[in-house]
Structure 1
Amino acid sequence: MMSKRLIKKGISCLWVLSLWILIATGMAEAQSEQRPEYLPDEVLVGFKDHAAKHAVDVVLAQVNGQVVRKFRLVPIMLLKVPNHTVLSVVRFLKSRPEVEFAEPNYLRRLHAAPNDPRYGEMWGLNNTGQTGGTFDADIDAPEAWGLTTGDPNRVVAVIDSGADLNHEDLAGNIWTNPGEIPGNGMDDDGNGFIDDVHGWDFAHDDSDPSDTDAACGGHGTHTAGTIGARGNNGIGVTGVNWDVKIMPLKAFRSFLGLCSASSSDIIGAIDYAAMMGVRVSSNSYGGGPYSQSEFNAIQASKGLFVAAAGNEGNNNDVTPNYPSNYNLNNIIAVAATDHNDLLAYFSNYGTNSVDLSAPGVDILSATPNNTYSLFSGTSMATPHVAGAVALLMGSDSSLTNNEVKWRILQGADNKSLPVLTGGRLNVNHSLTLPPPQVTVTVTPNGSTTLSPGGILSFILTLHNNEPAPQTAVISLALVKPDGSELVLVQRALTVPANGTLNKTISKKLPLGMVPGEYQMAGRAEIPAMSYDEDLVVYNVVP
C-alpha cells in the first residue's frame, strides 16, 4: 500500500511529509499515541427529531457529557466526555431510542501566460513539455483565461491548515469579511464569530487562520495558491484564478506531532462557509471511517464540495476514502495525474466513486513566508478543480451548482483513466460547452410560502432550442432544508423542434413536513449532451 506524500523540493534538500489518514476500522479503546484515530474525550451525537429536551438531558447526564459545540447546518452536538471512554459512550448512546447516531470525533489527515516569473514551471496549467512531459497534458488554463481570469467577488473556502495571509502572491486575493471591523473584539456582523476578518481557525477556536503549524508543512497555503495566487502581478506564480477571494478556514493542526483535523472542526468550517454564502470549498484531506456527522453537514451545505480521492493507490470503489466517497451529488471527487496525462502512481481511483482527475505531481505553488515549492498528491489536484469551479461560477453567476458540476465533468479530456469520466480536467472545455438543447423553467403558481398540508403548485416549462425534436430526461425534485431530495417526477419526454411544453403540477405537502426553506428543482438532461436546471425557493412555515 502506498503512503500519502507531499514532496517539497528546495535548493539543496528533499523532504517527504506523510499526511495520510491513520484511522483503522477495528478500534480499541486505548489508542496509540503515535497513530490516534479519534479525539480521546469527544463524541458527536445526533438526536432524533421527536426526542424531547428532557429525554436528551437525561441521556447526556447518563454519559456525563458536556455539550461544547452545536452547528447551524445540522442538529448535531459535540460532547466532551471523560477521557478514554469514547467507545463505551458511543455504544451506550447508540442503544438509546432518542439517538439517531453517535460516533467518535474522528481525526482526518491532509492528502497532502501571465507575467509571473515562475509561471513557465507550472505544467498543470500549461504543459509545453517543460518538465519532460507530454505537450498539452494540462487543464488549458491559458485558453480559459482568454475568456475569464476570475471574479474578485467569487469566494472559495479552503478547509485546510490555514493560509499565509501576508504571502506576496496571495495577500491580494485573501477574503475580507465586509461586515467585520478588525481588532475591536466584537462580533460586528452577528454571525457568532468575533473578529473573523479573514476566516476562522477552528482548530484553535480563534480568528487567525494563518498557516503556522509546522507539522502541516504549508499545505493550506499551497492549495490556496493553486486556486488563486494573484495572476499577472509580476510575482511568483499564478492560480487557476488570477482574481478570486480565498476564505481560509483552518481545521488542521499539529496533534501529537501529526497534522490532523477532527470531524467537528471540519464540520465547523463547512457550517461557517455555508452561513457566509460560499458555494464552493476545496478539501484536500480524508481517509478513514464513514462519519454520519460529516455526511449530514456536507449534504446540508448544498455547496460544491471538491474532495481529494486519496493517495494510497487504492480503488475507492472497493476501499472507500472519506469524505470523497460520500454518495452525495454536491461532491466532486478528484484523482491526480502526472505530466504525461497518466494516473499518478500514488493516486486513488474508481470508475464509480471518483469523478475526474487533475494535475497532481510536482505542482508549483505558494508556501509560507513568500516561498514557492513543489508538492505532489491528490491534495494538489483538488484545488485545480476547485479553482475551475470558481472560474465557471464567476463567468456566469446564473449557473446552479449542479450545472457547474455537470460542465466540469463533461468538459474533461477523456484519457481513458480509471475514473467516472475517464478524464482529466479541462477548464477551457467546461467554459465553452454549448448552451442546453432543452431548457427547463419552474414558475410558481400561487404563493411560495406554505404550511404543512398546503398545496404546492407550479408551472413546468420545457423549451427545445434545436431544429429537431429532442428527448430529455425530465426530473422534478424537492430539495429539503437538510439537502436531501424527494424526487417527485422522473421520466423521458420528447420536445418538438423549436417547441415548448407547459404543464401545471400540484402536490399536497405532508402534514408532518419540517418548516424551513425548500427548493423545487426542475432538471432536463440529455446524457453527455445537455443539462439544464431551474430552482425556485419555497418557505414552509408552521
Structure 2
Amino acid sequence: MSRTSRPRRLAAGLSAAALACVSLAAATEATAATAGATAAGPLMNYVVNTKATPGHVRKAEDAVKDAGGTVLTSYRQFGVVVAQSTNPNFRTDIRATHNGREVQSVGATRTAAVSEGPGGLNGIDDAEATPVLDPREGEQWDMVQIKADQAHAVTDGSRSVLVGINDSGVDDTHPDLAPNFDAADSVSCVDNGVPDTTTGAWRPTTSSHGTHVAGTVAAARNGVGIVGVAPGVRIASVKVVNDDGFIYPEYSICGIVWAAQHNMAVTNHSYFIDPFEFWCKDNGDQGAVQEAVRRAYAWATDQGTLSVAAAGNSNYDLSNKTTDSNSPNDTTSVTRTINNDCLDMPTELPGVITVASTTQARAKSSFSNFGLNKIDVAAPGSSILSTLPGNRYGLASGTSMASPHVTGVAALMKSTHPWWGPRDIERALHHEADDTACPTTPDPRCTGTTTNNAFYGEGITDALDAVTP
C-alpha cells in the first residue's frame, strides 16, 4: 500500500442498483430553503448511521434534508446514508429535526471541503497443461517465492471468478490485462461516492498504481510480458482514488458495495482511507466514519466478497499504537495520541485479510507495517515487476504490491473450491501459508512464534497449496 503510500495512501462497493435521480437545481433549492438564514459554510460530505431497515433509512434521509443537506447515496442494506451540505451546523441540526431520533451517529468524511463539487441524489437498494512461459516471467521472483509458478501447472484459475481491483483505475487496453478485463462490472466511485458507469470512468487518469496491482493479480498467460498469480480469472476496475490521490470513506464504501452487488469473489485494497491514517473510535466524525465503513465491509463479506488489504508502509506496530503524526492529510496534519481503538482502514476491519511485505530474501520489507495478531499473512512487495499504463512494465515497492499476491491466491482458492465463502478462504489462507520464523538476529519487534508472529502473521502465502486438494 503506498502513499508515497500518497504511496501509503497508494504505493509507487443486490443484484442491481435502483437509481432515483433529482435535479441538482432542485436539491440546491431545497437545501437553501431548509437551512434558512444560516450562513453557508464549505461544502462537506457526511456519513449518517441509522438502523438497517428501509423505514429507518428513509427517516434518516428526511432528517438530512430537514437539516439542509442533500442525500448522495443510501445503503439500506446496512443503515448508512452519505450526505452533503453547506450547513456549518449540519451535525447538530440533523439531530434537532423531527426525525433526528433516527440518527445513531453522524460524521464528516474529510477535513477539507469537497473538491468534486455538488452531487446528485441516488438510492442503492437493495484445462490444464504445463504452462508456456511469458517473455518476462523469468524476472518474477515473487511468483517463485509464493509457488505461483508451480500452481500454474495445476490451474491458472477460473473465468467464473471475478476479482475487484479497488484502486486508482485499470488500463484495460494493456495487452496483458485486456484478455481478462470485465468492463461491464467496472465503475468509478470518485464523484462523491456515487457509482459512475460511464465507459472508461474507471480508467486511470493520474496514477499507474491500480494497473500495477491488476497485473500482479491476473496478467494473462498470452505470450506477452508477465503472468499474474491467477492469470485465468477475470478482473474489474473499481476506481476509488481521485485525481489528487485521495481515497475518502464514501469512495471506499461505494466500491465495496459495488463489488458485492456484482458478485466479486475477492477485492484488493492497496490503500488506507483518507484523511486519517488511523480512524479513532470517538463520539465525533472519526467514530461515525469508522462505524459506517465497518458496516459496509461486514455487509459485503456476508454477501460473499472477501477483502484483501495492504498493511501499510509506515514500519508501524499496528498492535501497539501510540501516536499519529500524519493525519489529517487533506489539510494540516497534527501529532496526536492514539490507541488500539484507532484503526487503519480498511486493513484492520474485521474479516479483512491484512498483508505485510517481504523481500526476495524472505525478510520483512523495511517499510512494512507489522503487529502480532494484526498481520494475517505476508507476500512479496519489494521491487515487484508488473504492468503499467500505456503498454509498459515497471518495478514498484510497497505493501500495495504484496496485497495483490494474496488476492491472486484467494482467487485461485475460489477457482478450486467454488463453494467456498470468504471465511473459508480466510481460514485456508492462514492454514496453507508457509510458516516463517522471526529473524535469526533477534529483533524485539518480531514477537510471537514461528507459526504466528508480528512480521509474517501465519506465514508467506502459498499458491501451490491453494490449488492442491
- Same fold, TM-score > 0.5, yes or no: yes
Supply the distance in 2 between the matched residues of 1:381 and 1:202 (Cα, whole angstroms).
24
* 1:361–1:376 contact (8 Å) kept in structure 2: yes
Question: Counterpart in 2 of 1:148?
Answer: 155
Question: Which residues in structure 2 correspond to 1:230-269 (within 5 Å)?
Answer: 230-231=220-221, 233-254=222-243, 258-269=244-255
Question: Which residues in structure 2 correspond to 1:116-515 (within 5 Å)?
Answer: 116-126=134-144, 138-176=145-183, 197-204=184-191, 205-207=196-198, 208-214=200-206, 216=207, 218-231=208-221, 233-254=222-243, 258-286=244-272, 287-289=277-279, 291-302=290-301, 303-319=305-321, 320-326=343-349, 328=350, 330-417=351-438, 418-419=454-455, 421-432=457-468
- Alpha carbons of 1:395 and 1:313: their partners in 2 closer, same or farther (altered >3 Å)? same
Secondary structure at the counterpart of residue 124 of structure 1:
helix
Give per-residue Cα distances to partners, 1:101-140, cap 9 Å, x unaligned: 21222499xxxx64211111111101xxxxxxxxxxx101
Give per-residue Cα distances to partners, 1:461-494, cap 9 Å, x unaligned: xxxxxxxxxxxxxxxxxxxxxxxxxxxxxxxxxx
Give per-residue Cα distances to partners, 1:253-310, cap 9 Å, x unaligned: 11xxx30122112111111111112221111111331521111000001221101111
* 1:281–1:306 contact (8 Å) kept in structure 2: yes
Of 103, 109, 116, the residue aligned with 1:105 is 109
* 1:314–1:349 contact (8 Å) kept in structure 2: yes
Supply the distance in 1 between the matched residues of 2:187 and 2:57 (Cα, whole angstroms).
31
- 2:27 is the counterpart of 1:20: no
* 1:353–1:420 contact (8 Å) kept in structure 2: no
Secondary structure at the counterpart of residue 387 of structure 1:
helix
Give per-residue Cα distances to partners, 1:478-522, cap 9 Å, x unaligned: xxxxxxxxxxxxxxxxxxxxxxxxxxxxxxxxxxxxxxxxxxxxx
- Alpha carbons of 1:55 and 1:410: their partners in 2 closer, same or farther (altered >3 Å)? closer
Secondary structure at the counterpart of residue 72 of structure 2:
strand
Secondary structure at the counterpart of residue 342 of structure 1:
coil
Secondary structure at the counterpart of residue 222 of structure 1:
helix
Secondary structure at the counterpart of residue 80 of structure 1:
strand
* 1:46–1:99 contact (8 Å) kept in structure 2: yes
CA drift at 1:364: 0.5
Runs of 5+ unmatched residues, structure 2 = 11-41, 113-130, 281-289, 322-342, 439-453
Supply the distance in 2 between the matched residues of 1:427 and 1:52 (Cα, whole angstroms).
45
- Alpha carbons of 1:63 and 1:167: their partners in 2 closer, same or farther (altered >3 Å)? same
Supply the distance in 2 between the matched residues of 1:408 and 1:54 (Cα, whole angstroms).
40
- Alpha carbons of 1:91 and 1:346: their partners in 2 closer, same or farther (altered >3 Å)? farther
* 1:352–1:419 contact (8 Å) kept in structure 2: no
CA drift at 1:21: 4.3
Secondary structure at the counterpart of residue 357 of structure 1:
strand
**Counterpart amino acid of residue 119 in structure 1:** E
From the CA coordinates, give the structure whose radius of gyration is larger: 1
Give per-residue Cα distances to partners, 1:365-388, cap 9 Å, x unaligned: 001010001011111111100110
**Counterpart amino acid of residue 162 in structure 1:** G
* 2:163–2:236 contact (8 Å) kept in structure 1: yes
Question: Counterpart in 2 of 1:193?
Answer: none
**Counterpart amino acid of residue 48 in structure 2:** V
CA drift at 1:61: 4.1
Q: TM-score, normalised by structure 1?
A: 0.62
**Counterpart amino acid of residue 249 in structure 2:** S
Secondary structure at the counterpart of residue 97 of structure 1:
helix
- Alpha carbons of 1:420 and 1:372: their partners in 2 closer, same or farther (altered >3 Å)? closer
* 1:209–1:249 contact (8 Å) kept in structure 2: no
Secondary structure at the counterpart of residue 261 of structure 1:
coil
Supply the distance in 2 between the matched residues of 1:398 and 1:155 (Cα, whole angstroms).
14
- Alpha carbons of 1:46 and 1:170: their partners in 2 closer, same or farther (altered >3 Å)? same
Secondary structure at the counterpart of residue 295 of structure 1:
helix
Of 49, 67, 70, the residue aligned with 1:66 is 70
Question: Counterpart in 2 of 1:89?
Answer: 90
Supply the distance in 1 between the matched residues of 2:374 and 2:437 (Cα, whole angstroms).
16
Secondary structure at the counterpart of residue 143 of structure 1:
helix
* 2:230–2:412 contact (8 Å) kept in structure 1: yes
CA drift at 1:94: 6.6
**Counterpart amino acid of residue 414 in structure 1:** D
Give per-residue Cα distances to partners, 1:222-258, cap 9 Å, x unaligned: 1111000001x1101110012110011111111xxx3
- Alpha carbons of 1:249 and 1:53: their partners in 2 closer, same or farther (altered >3 Å)? closer
**Counterpart amino acid of residue 230 in structure 2:** N
* 1:338–1:361 contact (8 Å) kept in structure 2: yes
Secondary structure at the counterpart of residue 215 of structure 2:
helix
- Alpha carbons of 1:344 and 1:66: their partners in 2 closer, same or farther (altered >3 Å)? same
Supply the distance in 2 between the matched residues of 1:224 and 1:21 (Cα, whole angstroms).
17
Q: Name the one with the larger helix percent.
A: 2
Instruction: Tell me the number of residue pairs that the alignment of Structure 1 and Structure 2 aligns.
Output: 359
Question: Aligned-pair RMSD on alpha carbons?
Answer: 2.6
Supply the distance in 2 between the matched residues of 1:301 and 1:241 (Cα, whole angstroms).
22
